[in-house]
Amino acid sequence: MTDAADLRRRTRRLLETSPPATTPRLDFLRARFDAGLAWVHCPEGLGGLGAPRELQSVVDTELAAAAAPDNDPRRIGIGLGMAAPTLLAHGTPEQQERFLRPLWTGEEVWCQLFSEPGAGSDLAALATRAVRDGDEWTVDGQKVWTSSAHLARWAILIARTDPDVPKHRGISYFVCDMSDPGVEVRPLRQITGEAEFNEVFLTGVRIPDAHRIGAVGDGWNVARTTLMNERVSIGGLPLPREGGMIEPVACTWRERPDLRTHGLHRRLLALWADAEIARLSARRLRQQLAAGRPGPEGSAMKLTFARLNQQISSLELDLLGEEGLHYDDWTMRRPELVDFTGRDAGYRYLRAKGNSIEGGTSEVLLNIVAERVLQLPAEPRTDKDVAWKDLAR
């Protein structure tokens, strides 16, 4: 069994055979994946060694001390946090071998084609159609709020393959080639002035059946794996003490005594404590993840993440007064990633408004927590046994 000492030996051997100072970054990342040191909990041959997930920190510490390059995880977060766990749980060996290595090294960026204009909070009501044509599927429809679609090579996609059954049972899950000529990506300009999100139009897109993940009609079950991992990846990020959104507010408080008031101090103390509780809860959630697949508790963490970001960014504006209204970049930009801490307070305040929508709206997540964590009675669902084609839209 692989233990910490074995992982240290393997990591040091990697550093000897592929010295970070002289090995091209991509070559080093490929070598790390092939050595099983990318994500040690994964099976051998897929970037791992079948070791306990918590031992990943042993590898990461050794590589950080050697100034080895990482795979820029924030840039490829959708691939790492959503596509990879889904492929590992439901993909075929051929799909795993084809997609996981370039996903982890960052050679191929991924996006998520789930939400639609008429089926945002009620994702299972989606209308994008996939029709079987021999060994391929023809896909037509529209998706929205797609982060990184302008950068992505591949997308995880859910589409309706059977309109004659209830909405949750007529969905299938695919890997979509974003370079297909039928894929059109249009920017959605946000309140920040950026266009990190997109709307995506699919017209006659051809997807080979070999790129279907899971059984035909079982897409909702596969998508639940994606969604649970998505909420963990958003709300359960590893942070140092006083990390995340609370950091710039606490720093301003210490450095600018002229801005302090008693009322703001009370708010800061309360939010600092909430942020620390959330950080420690996220650590426990990642420990749960190490023991198996994530559960609905990830929804609670994502709820907390959104609430805290919005309350902390509001406090920061109140603390800074008129200085907080300064926001110096309204130009149309197409960012590769969202940087909350490296921007103006005004940017953080505006961008945090989207936290209660992306990754599942807070209203839907409250239902998930109520029903699946607290075991409260479920809301009445009149469309549960109605064929999708007969639903009012």
CB 117 within 8 A of CB 142: yes
Give the integer Cα–Cα distance in Å for 226 and 214.
13
Instruction: Classify 89 as helix, strand or coil.
Output: helix
Give the integer Cα–Cα distance in Å for 84 and 78.
9
What DSSP letter does each residue of 327-341 carry, written as one string? Answer: ----S-B--SS--ST
The catalytic position among 230, 255, 363, 371 is: 230
CA nearest to 158, candidates 200, 209, 103, 115: 115
The 10 Å CB-count burial string (b at 16+, else e) for 76-104 is bbbbbbbbbbbbbebbeeebbebbbbbbb
Q: In angstroms, how far is CA 331 from the centroid of its own chain? A: 26
230 labelled catalytic: yes
Contacts of 307 (CB under 8 A, 6+ apart): 356, 362
* Strand-pair partners of 184: 201
CB 101 within 8 A of CB 51: no
| Strand-pair category, 154-160 with 110-113 | parallel
Residue 99 identity? F
Residue positions annotated with a catalytic role = 230
